[in-house]
Chain A
C-alpha cells in the first residue's frame, strides 16, 4: 500500500518544559482534506506548528514522516522545500519586502531556478483576482498595514502561488467577516482542485468548512487526540459542541 503523505506517530510535544501534546498519531493521504478541531487551548496550533518544525516547541517523543521521508528533526525551510506549507493564524508584518518580491523569492528558493517574470506576474494577478485582492497589494510591503482579512488572503495567495503538496491552515477563518470567509474558502477550493493538495484545516468554528469536502475530522482535547471520524463529525460538533469529549477527557485528567 502506498504510504500516506503525512504520518504522525506517537508525537508528544512540550513548550518551556510544559507538555502540550500527548502521544498524537494520525495520517493524511495525498489529496485528502483533514479537519482538526477542539476547544480553545487544546493544542491544535501546537500540532500545526510542530508539523512545520517551529523551534519554539520541543518534540519530546515520536516521529513525523512526509512523503516517506523522516522529517522529525529537519529544519522548517527544508520541510517547506519538500512540499509543506503553513498558513499562519496571525501573519507577521515584514517591512522592506513587497508581497510580490517575497513570493517570487520564495518560488526561486523552492525551484532553484530563475522565475520568469512575465508568467509569474500573470499567475499572481489571476490568483489575486480569485481572492478579490486589489492588485496594489502586490507592491505593498508584506502584510504591513494589512487588515486581518487581507493578511489571511495574503497567506492563501502564497498557498496558491507556492503550490505545496500539503498545507496546514491554522485558524484561517478567525477574525474574518462572512464575505472574507467565502473568498478564502474559494481560494482553498482552488488549491484542492489545482494541486490535488492535502490539507489540514485547524479551526474551532466551522464556517470555513461549509463549502469544502472533508475526508476526516480529528478532535483534540487537552493535547490528546480523542476522536477521529469522517466529515459528519463536523456537523456533530456544530450541533453538540465539544462537551462530550471534554467530559470524557476531564475524567481521565
Chain B
C-alpha cells in the first residue's frame, strides 16, 4: 500500500454523474415565471394554474405571512438564498400523461435514467413523476384503483368534484402557513405533488411512489403531498427526489401532510438526493389517530443546506411513531436534520433512531424534540442517535431536547459520537480486507439499520453512494 500514489485525492463531491445530467429548457417547451416573490408573481402563478378562488386568496395570504415572519435564529446560514433570484414556477409545456410513451422525449429520458418506469413495471402500485413544477406522469394500477384507492396529482384532486372538498378541508391544516417562514412560502407558491386516499381496511401490497425532479436552473420546487390513510388501511409511500448540479441556488420547500387513521399504518420512505446547490427547507408532518402507526424512513444525501424534521403528532391513544434516518454530509453541505415526536394522548410510543456521517468538511446536525403532554400518560419515548466523523474537517452536532409534563412517562435517550474504530479496522484487515474496503464496510454497517428499511433499489443505491463517498478518503 505504501509507496504508491493511490487514490490519495480526496473526493470532494459524490460521483453523481448518474444524477447530473440535465436538459435545456427552451422557451417553446417550457413556461418560466419571472423570478422573485411579489403579489403580482403569485397572482400570475395562480392564473397559470387556474386555481379556484379560495386557493388564490390562500396564496396571497400566505405571502403576507411570509413577509411578516423572520428566518430562524438557529440552524445553518441561509443568507445565500435570494428569493428575488428564484423562479418559483417552471412548467414543461405538456399535459400530464398516463402512459410513458406520451411523455416528451427529454423528460422521459430523465425518468428512464432514474429507473422510474422500470421500477413501476416491476414493483410499484402507482407512480407520480414531477418535472420542475408540474406532474408529467401519473398512473395507478387498475386493481388498486378498483379498491377505491385514489392516487392523483394534487391539481386534479383540488379541482375534482369528488375530492375537491376533502382537499379544501385538509390542505395546510396540519402544516399551517404561519408555522414558519418556509411553510408560508410553500403556501404562496406550491405546485405539483400528489394526493392519496386509501379507503377503510384497504391494504396495498405494493408501494406508491412519487418522484420529484428539478431540472431547471435557479428555480424552486414546492410540491405538496397530502396522504389520508383511512381506518385500518395500510400504505407504503416512497418519495424520491434529485436534481442536476448548477452553480446557482435552487430551492426546495415542499410540504408533506399525512393523516393516519384509527388502527391504520403508513410507511413513508424518502431518499433525498438533491444536488449540492440546493436549499432544502422541507416540512413534513403526520397526525396519527388511535392505534395508528407512522413509520418514517429517511435518507438524506444531497443538498447544500437542509432543514428537515419530520414531525409526528400522536393524537389518539396507543398511536405510535417510528423514525429511522441517515444523513450523510459531505463537502460543502450543511445538513440539519432530525425529527419531532409529539405525544398528545395516553399510551403513545415513539422510537427515534438516527445515524449521521460527516466527511470532507461536511456539517451534520442532528436536531430533535420529544414532547410529552400532561395527559399523555403511560407514554414511552426512546431516542438513539449515533454520529460518525470521518475526518477532522467535518463537523457533527447533536441537539436533542425533551420536554415532559407528566410523571407517568418513560423517556430514554442515548447518543454517541466518534470515529471509525481502529480496532474494528484492524480486525477486518487481519482477515485480509484492505484498509479502504474495511472502512467502507464499517460505514455501510453503520448505515445498515436504515438501509435495510429502504426498498431494495434504494438500499443498493445508498450503499453505492456510501462506497463512492468513501473512495479516496485515505
Say if the two chains contact directly (CB < 8 Å): no
Which residues on A are within 8 Å of B, measured CB to CB?
none
